[in-house]
Chain A
């Protein structure tokens, strides 16, 4: 196995533009420096075949090639394309080197057991590059210099130089492949040296004495020797793709088309690196000069374009940009994707991808704060609960292992989406109050009525049938009602437009809390059966003297 491979992309600036707009691959393309007299910086193969080359003015280029399409140089496009090529190579070998725009060295040592023959490894690299939008060439040789020079000048997509044959493989190549500076190239031309083989045949000592370090460097390259140590490239912790827009977009449908294109590029990069996005950062540059930034968390890590685009659209529908958009930047927060398998005996659960899309649609429909999983707070305050992001536990009972001291469930992140009551705990002051089933949310308080048994387990009724729990339908917010009392007991309640007599009642159950804080509360609760048939819970606020309807037992 040759220890090094080189992935080479011709005319990289043009290839980066084609990656952003795949339709440009069909015709002649030139990348120009945006200026008053725009000059051609790079041209693709079709443009070069039409006589267009770097350094020409755009006018001259158009005169030579009327079908020429020009695009301005965009730093972000080229940087993203360069990163994409490196990441694609990283999917094949853990050690890659950034050797310039469109050139990646790959350490292929030890990969034969994974990929087979050198040709198969080259084909794999070629496929990876194609997946992120590049038509590349690959060469494998014993040194990086040899692999790079062969890749730059080869006609075939994959070229393998047999071990020890590097010098012979480089010998017929033109001296222009070394991209020497003009003076050195002119000197060698005067000596009649036109190929790498001719340069390699020159005596090294004499070459060093006459041409100095530049001559020795050229000689080493002609022999296929590496002068620099391998500098492994590490991917940055952020993954970003950007798209400049030629005109302003103010409609979401049109913006979605651009988002789909940018997302496809980003997803291809993630897939090549075997990563998945757990959140997307969207930054839209606005025509007003401002920015519109959104972060879209994903219920499950994925790199599939369709669900990601749906989630982005839903988020932007809820939070549209305030002005027309001129630039789109998408960033991904990545995690290593791990395959999982459901339990054999567990009921099926919603697929994470489908669940994420449904949660996003529900959030768009009723608001993000109104969708989630309820969680009880460690407080005696009535109706103390929080709404957490919905993420059903994988294993039954796994949740209890992660339950914190403060009563929050173990899913520490993200934080609660909405809290119905302050999380500060109340104290249950039962001033000589009888035990009851109602307001305390803690299992200990509930156990007083259940005789210490599991309160959630149906108990056998006197007739032997399992007995279920009576639940309350909450009135949110608690409804103010007028109550007439006889002594301290409710006698009649004005409810639903009429006065209803209380036929039976039980209470009071007194509770208070947070007297040490601004959220102090103190109340007495009564369970009342009304003549109309309703079975309600009434509460008397001891601080204000007002009665309210907490809810109805149903």
Chain B
């Protein structure tokens, strides 16, 4: 296992002692809580709404998504839940992957989340902008 370059000598603890906090340590933790709070309402709304639909066939679901009151929460799910997903998996990777594998895994996670999110956003907007809502 290689030791990262550091101008300071000594143990890992000795190298950082006296530097103070990085001033951003709590941000990731806090955003995880904020997005979790949003998810609590967004995903419960999604589950209950789908259960209340008369069916899950193409026409029913499509006209449902065409309503702004559905398209907007779906967009919020893509932004909020996908952020939560990305942050959560980032922590798992940081806990278990070391060396080069960590960099590659974090890069894959990033393009995967943003790629899937972009695809989902485009799909929602395409449905919402090309049709008349019936609900």
A binds B: no
